[in-house]
A = this chain, B = another copy of it.
Amino acid sequence: MIIILKPEATQAEIDHLTQKIKEHGLTPHLSAGQERRLIGVIGDERAIQNMPLSIFPGVESVLPVLAPYKLVSREFKRENSVIPLGDGVTIGGKQVPVMAGPCAVETQAQVLGIAKAVRSAGARLLRGGAFKPRTSPYAFQGLGEEGLQYLAEAKKITGLPVITEVVDPRDIELVAQYADVLQIGARNMQNFRLLTEVGKYHKPVLLKRGLSATIKEFLLSAEYIMSGGNHRVILCERGIRTFETMTRNTLDLAAVPLIKGLSHLPVVVDPSHATGRWDLVAPMALAAVAAGADGLLIEVHGNPEEALSDGEESLKPAKFAAMMTELRKVATAVGREI
């Protein structure tokens, strides 16, 4: 950490500051430039990174040197984390698993029909929501445990491992009985209690980036899960909120190679929520694989007009299958496989 002093900082102010630094077991090192004096802090700056040093008298600004996260970083682990998701599927290696299914689980027939369709088109996991976070209290909130049972049933028949969302610490036990991968939604990326709780399980967790989360905050939320003991974390870019309103969100695809440089964790892209429009899902899925994504999360519905949630962005099974054909070509072009 480097502390830049105001031009008018007094010796007493500097003494006060260096004293505080020493109290935390670190070593201050004063040096003078032409226009400013600086204090370099030697030692593990994480010991003082929550101190409000910027308001100490005589301080102009404070520049952290180290990233605030540790376990998620490439420095902590050089090679890519490859995470088994069940049924022989892994994520983080050469394979780019596609996780497909309806936004919300609606009926047993619906889930099973879609599961069979996406499996035959090449999907590796079945997605579907039983607990739905919805902006309006008057929108469909999900089937709850009944929905989980339908997913389990579909898994038994198709063999596809299941990924589904958990929204409440009180539900994790239940959801974990049915799911192969726990999903934390964008609106819960900073629901720290939920992060802490899933950190106690051994299930893989897919963590979605919050609507206005910086990449640093996103990685810190993953750090919550890993610091609890669960290292099977998958990061998911699903669009951020910007001023543009023609798409539901703005897909920040550069986050994929950027995060893969900073972290060893796999990075998945959800083009369905990122765009909110079914006609943009396929081009963004192709782009995601070209950019190096480790997996995709795609909404598929047999009859989007009747979907109880997110019909606007759901692909019909035939469109999904066509997209998978294109995806395979792009994956091959960049040395991956679907």
Contact = CB atoms under 8 A, between A and B. Distances in A.
A83 B274 CA distance: 32
A336 to B, nearest CB: 12
A283 B256 CA distance: 9
B55 A38 contact: no
A295 B114 CA distance: 37
A65 interface: yes
A24 to B, nearest CB: 12
A319 to B, nearest CB: 12
Size band of the interface chain A makes with B: 35 or more
Nearest to A47: B138
B55 A224 contact: no
Given A212-B243, A242-B250, A279 B261 contact: yes
B190 A135 contact: yes
Contact of A291 (B217, B256, B283): B283
A4 B52 contact: no
A50 B308 contact: yes
A192 B305 contact: no
Contacts of A297: none
A252 interface: yes
10 pairs of A and B residues whose beta carbons are closest in the complex: A52-B311, A212-B212, A290-B290, A287-B287, A329-B333, A287-B291, A187-B190, A286-B290, A333-B333, A257-B283
Given A52-B310, A188-B191, A283-B291, 17 more contacts: A33-B65, A36-B65, A55-B304, A55-B311, A56-B305, A133-B190, A215-B246, A240-B244, A241-B243, A242-B250, A247-B254, A250-B250, A251-B253, A257-B284, A286-B334, A290-B290, A333-B333
18 contacts: A2-B38, A52-B304, A55-B312, A133-B190, A135-B190, A187-B191, A214-B245, A242-B243, A250-B250, A251-B252, A253-B287, A254-B274, A254-B280, A254-B283, A257-B283, A261-B279, A287-B290, A290-B290
